[in-house]
Amino acid sequence: MGIVNIAVIGAGYLGRFHAQKYRALNNCRLIGLIDSDPSTVEEMASLYPDAKASTDFQTLINDVDAVSIVTSTPSHYEIAKQFLARGKHVLLEKPMTSTTGQAEELIKIAEENHRILQIGHIERFNPTVLAMDEYMQQPKFIESQRLSPFKTRGTDVNVVLDLMIHDIDIILSIVQSDIESIQASGMSVLSDDIDIANARITFTNDCVANVTASRVSTNSERKLRLFQGNAYFSADLGNHELKIYTRKQSEINVQSFNFEKSDALLTEITHFLDCIHNNIQPLVSGTDGLRALHTANQIANTIQLHNAK
């Protein structure tokens, strides 16, 4: 495939960044911007005069090769389904869909039409996460913390689907084992849904992950700690720092890495386009998105059942 004709569906806060990244790349052409808000459409039309701006994604479905879907989660399924069924490649923001059944159907449609379905778990493209792959073997204990101040944006879903799902996806990609059990607790604080949550995930290979997420904190923090038989990893995903502690006889050896702050969204979008051009499977596939969604829903349901007692 030559130049990829692409549209961004959902031109809100995050969708605008998608549009900027596509506009900066020379192997694609941003031909459309869609949003349900007419005032947003009018603004996008002034910013991108050579792209068609509309409130109706159907007006572009015949003209594009691929789309980024950056709308609210409840609308993901219906929009992605229509584009995949028409043979278009899809980069779908997380959480993938509202239900696992919807996610399974999108995966099936993508496979039947031989199209790329990539899920927007952007932390997989964090240079700190990518660097750990070289050293990771079989961790036995993982601890993650993702803390953020409260923002009204994103509260259409609970904190498990909003924030914790990033770490769930990373952990599932590292452990590569089935889940044996989940214990979880959480509560609402500033919204009507779960705003702070903690989950203990036990895998069948005996690895245990302790995962915490909060959107009612005074500061932002994204940290991951992993322990395996020969090493301890301390990763600061926000500051792009990684330390690896290993023991040699009676001495502790420390390797420190500081990565340049990269544009993870640009890396993610570049990867999406590479997958289209080279017909390769994405780093974060529909199946990955489904596993993360299923696990996140299990955690949220466990919390809700516990709180209902």
Question: For the chain, which residues score pLDDT lower than 70?
Answer: 1, 154
CATH of 4-121+265-284, one of 3.40.50.720, 3.90.1150.10, 1.10.10.10, 3.40.190.10: 3.40.50.720
The pLDDT value recorded for residue 154 is 62
Cα–Cα distance list, 238 to 128, 184, 261 (Å): 9, 25, 9
Q: 228 forms bridges with which residues in the sheet?
A: 231
The pLDDT value recorded for residue 1 is 67
Q: What is the mean pLDDT of the chain?
A: 95
Cα separation, 98 vs 231, in Å, equals: 38
> Phi-psi bin for 75: left (phi > 0), alpha (psi -120 to 50), beta?
alpha
Question: What is the fold of 124-261+295-308?
Answer: Dihydrodipicolinate Reductase; domain 2 (3.30.360)
Asked whether this chain's domains 4-121+265-284 and 124-261+295-308 adopt the same fold, the reply is no
Compute the C-alpha angle 55/282/120, nearest 5°.
45
Helix (H, G, I), strand (E, B) or coil at 39: helix
Q: Which helix (H) or strand (E) holds 285?
A: none
The pLDDT value recorded for residue 111 is 98
66-69 and 89-93 beta bridge pairing: parallel
Which is nearest to 231 in space by CA: 117, 142, 139?
139
- Domain range annotation of the chain: 4-121+265-284, 124-261+295-308
Percent of the chain with pLDDT over 90: 89
The pLDDT value recorded for residue 151 is 85
Within 8 A by CB and 6+ apart from 39, the residues are none
Helix (H, G, I), strand (E, B) or coil at 210: strand
Cα separation, 199 vs 300, in Å, equals: 9
